[in-house]
Amino acid sequence: MKQYKVVQTFPVPLQDLLRAREERYKYLDRFPELKNVELLEERKEGNKVYQKRKVKLAESLPKVLATLLSDPSLLEDSVFDISTNTHEFTIAPPGNDSIVTIKGFSVYKEISPLESERSYEVKVSSGVFLMGSVIETVIEEIHRHSLEKDKNSISEFLKKGD
């Protein structure tokens, strides 16, 4: 199992960061880096927002994983608690969570009135015999890169001031 942390800061108040996090998916035509993400389901229950997304990986999937997956995508199940600004998620290939699973927890918080951050604690695990640690390393790299792309899309959204 691989574990890692990622901390990202934004030069905006926390409320602006939270709004950008939620609303940028409404403007996918302006964020080509999010084009491979499809929202399958969303529901709100009290303070919690439940989402299921499909992330298509055909272009970025390493050959070692592509041969193991019949569907080159990942499903993300997530719960965002708006009372604590925490996000818990699980990402795995459809029906193949033994190949690789990403479990994460992120916290959005205010650093100062004009600065906020989100921090991630992530675990990647694979049950593939002999190849598990290689797959975990590759997926960690892909996931870190996707978090950076996600940060960039939020930053772009914030610049456009929607």
pLDDT tens-digit readout, 65-81: 666 666 778 899 999 99
77, 89 in Cβ contact below 8 A? yes
The residue ranges of every structural domain in the chain are: 2-160
Q: Which CATH superfamily is domain 2-160 in?
A: START domain (3.30.530.20)
pLDDT per residue over 119-134, tens digit each? Answer: 999 999 999 888 889 8
The single-letter DSSP state of residue 155 is H
pTM of the predicted structure, to 2 decimals? 0.86
64, 134 in Cβ contact below 8 A? yes
User: How high is the pLDDT of residue 126?
Assistant: 93
Tokens of 138: 């590759």
On the question of pLDDT at 162 being above 60, the answer is no
Average model confidence (pLDDT) across the chain: 87
pLDDT per residue over 90-112, tens digit each? Answer: 999 888 888 889 999 999 999 99
Confidence of residue 64 (pLDDT cuts 50, 70, 90): low
4, 140 in Cβ contact below 8 A? yes
Confidence of residue 156 (pLDDT cuts 50, 70, 90): confident
| Burial classification of residue 14, based on how many CB atoms lie within 10 Å of its CB (0-12 exposed, 13-18 middle, 19 or more buried) | buried
